[in-house]
Amino acid sequence: MLIGSGVAQAHQPVVLLDSDTTAAKGPLLTDGTVSYAIRASFTKSGQKKAFRAQLNAGDALSVQYLIVDKKPENALRTSALPRLVITSPTGTSVTVNLNERVKFYEPFSKVNYLYLSRYSAVAKAGVYSFTITSKGKAEITVAVGDKEIAGEVLRGTKPTPTSTTSPTPTPTPSASTSGYTMAQVKANNSAKSCWAVIDGFVYNLTTWINSHPGGAGAIVSLCGTDATAAFKYQHANQGKPAAKLDSFRLGALSQ
């Protein structure tokens, strides 16, 4: 069995937005072998959310369809859960078959999941599309990739990742192609310029300090640090904080 031992240990979270209605509009995982947890939540039937992942010929394409093991999702019939269609670079589509219901405890965020499907294939070179269509209110997680290293997620059509993913640029040194360093993060350790690392990505939280519903102090205490544990302790598996966080992403932390 594939359960346990870190399968979803440090999957980097990506929250699909309401505007990610087609694969082209959704985020692009620049290396589909790096582990990501893509969250998609829906309020009603017929909504679509989609993303893309780039793979090289011969790479392992590894996809898991998960739901949190609690109501309402775990009480839904399989036919009421969103449909996931994977389209290969050559245009072949498969609908992921929800054929299992295996419990899985994810120790990092302390969440009980159910695996509903695990799909793997040898990849063709190019961009795979993943389209999720709802059949009612539901939230699912699609885990992609196995490598527990920091990866890069691009949004929008522009090729330059730092300019498209950085909503609040600061005068501090910008990322090289290999990502931001911990030294850069530590240099932005005040309410004037507040960066933090969460799950291998660097975020600029400066503008969020005075807008955070949980108080400015909670964010100020994160400035200049790796805030993964603090964020997860408070907000593991909550859609709104994860989506908000996503909007502050500068880029990957270099290894």
Helix (H) or strand (E) holding 143: strand 138-144
Closer residue to ligand HEM (CB): 51 or 248: 248
Return the residue of 102, 114, 127, 218 that touches ligand HEM, per CB under 6 A.
218
Q: Which of 92, 27, 87 is nearest to 63 (CA)?
A: 87
CB atoms within 10 A of CB 147: 13
Minimum separation from the CB atom of position 28 to ligand HEM (A):
22
CB atoms within 10 A of CB 231: 22
Applying CB under 6 A, what is the total number of residues that bind ligand HEM? 16
213 is a site residue for ligand HEM (CB under 6 A): yes
Minimum separation from the CB atom of position 247 to ligand HEM (A):
8
Query: Taking CB under 6 A as the rule, which mask of x and - marks residues 223-252 in contact with ligand HEM?
Result: -------xx--xx----xx--xx-------
Closer residue to ligand HEM (CB): 65 or 201: 201
Measured CA to CA, the distance from residue 251 to residue 174 in angstroms comes to: 10
Which amino acid makes up residue 52?
Answer: R
Closer residue to ligand HEM (CB): 22 or 221: 221
Which amino acid makes up residue 142?
Answer: V
* Residue with smallest beta-carbon separation from ligand HEM: 214
**Which residues lie below 8 Å from residue 233, measured CB to CB, with a gap of 6+?**
none
**31 phi and psi angles, rounded to 5 deg:** -135, 105
| CA 46 from centroid of its chain's CA atoms | 22
39 is a site residue for ligand HEM (CB under 6 A): no
Return the residue of 23, 34, 205, 209 that touches ligand HEM, per CB under 6 A.
205
Minimum separation from the CB atom of position 67 to ligand HEM (A):
20
Return the residue of 97, 214, 216, 229 that touches ligand HEM, per CB under 6 A.
214
Minimum separation from the CB atom of position 6 to ligand HEM (A):
24
Contact by Cβ (8 Å): 192, 220: no
- Residues β-bridged to residue 140: 40
Using CB under 6 A, list all residues that contact ligand HEM.
205, 208, 212-214, 218-219, 222, 230-231, 234-235, 240-241, 244-245
